[in-house]
Amino acid sequence: MQRKKTAKEKMERVVYVLDYLRQGNPLDKHPMHKNKPVLQLLGEDYFMLMEASPTSPQFDFQLEQRLEIDKSPIKIDFHITYEDLTAVAKDELTRVLSQIVSEVKQQLFVEFFNKAEPLTLKLHSLELLPNIGKKTLRLILEERKKEPFKDFKDIEQRVGIKDVVNIIVERIVKELQGGEKYYLFVYPIEDRKKVGEHPIYVGYLEKLGKGIEDRSTFSG
């Protein structure tokens, strides 16, 4: 049986800068970040929130900057929660997520609409998205049977949803805020768990991404 990966093992390969505090963050719960430069970051694959330290004083960072961890002068220090984000980071979060959803991972999210399955007998994965009720769910299922959705615009035109990107972003933010039973996209770190709760990581992007990689390898 394959051992389930822990949060530390699910390290992100690419991150985005949500905030860069050059003088440190006096409100940070980590002593090492109170008076030294610190970055707050969002991961591209699992949407994990992290704090990092710059390893080179010569390098400057910009908000929304995309960084490859192995090739950038940063050291990941801690996984953090939504509550740990600064006000600036929370403002940037929505913009960065919109960019990831619409430009980087649109294909995977379209595949989610094409292949999402029920979580229980009474609850479908798609119903966890904002504004997706039973009527809209039924229409999505009917339309994808006729022909798989091609892109967000195709979903919006055929189903009547106004803004697919915003709907997905809202769900991701909700999962980042914690307290959910099901995590469709965000990997729930230990700090987000409360006593008596056992969040379920569905991990649709991870599963769908693996399927796409397998098909690419086979066809190559």
pLDDT of residue 6: 58
Mean pLDDT of 21-30: 85
Same domain, 73 and 132: no
**Boundary of a domain, candidates 36, 68, 93:** 93
Does 4 reside within a domain? no
Number of domains in the chain: 2
Confidence of residue 195 (pLDDT cuts 50, 70, 90): very low
- Residue found by looking up tokens 């050059």 in the block: 22
Mean pLDDT of 201-212: 85
Same domain, 47 and 130: no
Comparing C-alpha atoms, which of 17, 90, 80, 73 is closest to residue 48?
A: 80
pLDDT of residue 16: 98
The SS3 assignment for 198 reads coil
The SS3 assignment for 42 reads strand
pLDDT of residue 31: 84
Q: Is pLDDT at 212 greater than 80 in this prediction?
A: no
Distance between CA atoms of residues 51 and 36, nearest Å: 12
Distance between CA atoms of residues 193 and 191, nearest Å: 6
Which CATH number characterizes residue 165's domain?
A: 1.10.150.280
Does 174 reside within a domain? yes
Does 1 reside within a domain? no
**Count of CB atoms within 10 A of residue 30's CB?**
15
Mean pLDDT of 6-18: 80
Q: Is pLDDT at 194 greater than 70 in this prediction?
A: no
Q: Is pLDDT at 214 greater than 80 in this prediction?
A: no
Going along the chain, which residue ranges are E strands?
Answer: 14-21, 38-43, 49-54, 66-68, 74-79, 182-183, 200-201
Does 8 reside within a domain? no
pLDDT of residue 1: 40
182 vs 196: which has the higher pLDDT: 182
Same domain, 127 and 86: no
The packing angle between helices 106-115 and 152-159, to 10°, is 40
- Taking only the tens place, the pLDDT of each residue in 55-64 is 987 889 999 9
The percent of residues above 70 in pLDDT, for the chain, comes to 87
Q: Is pLDDT at 107 greater than 90 in this prediction?
A: yes
- Taking only the tens place, the pLDDT of each residue in 115-170 is 999 999 999 999 999 999 999 999 999 999 999 999 999 999 999 999 999 999 99
Distance between CA atoms of residues 37 and 142, nearest Å: 52
Comparing C-alpha atoms, which of 45, 159, 172, 186 is closest to residue 105?
A: 45
pLDDT of residue 147: 97
Same domain, 133 and 207: yes
Domain span including residue 166: 105-215
Same domain, 75 and 111: no
Same domain, 115 and 84: no
pLDDT of residue 220: 40
pLDDT of residue 34: 86
Mean pLDDT of 4-24: 81
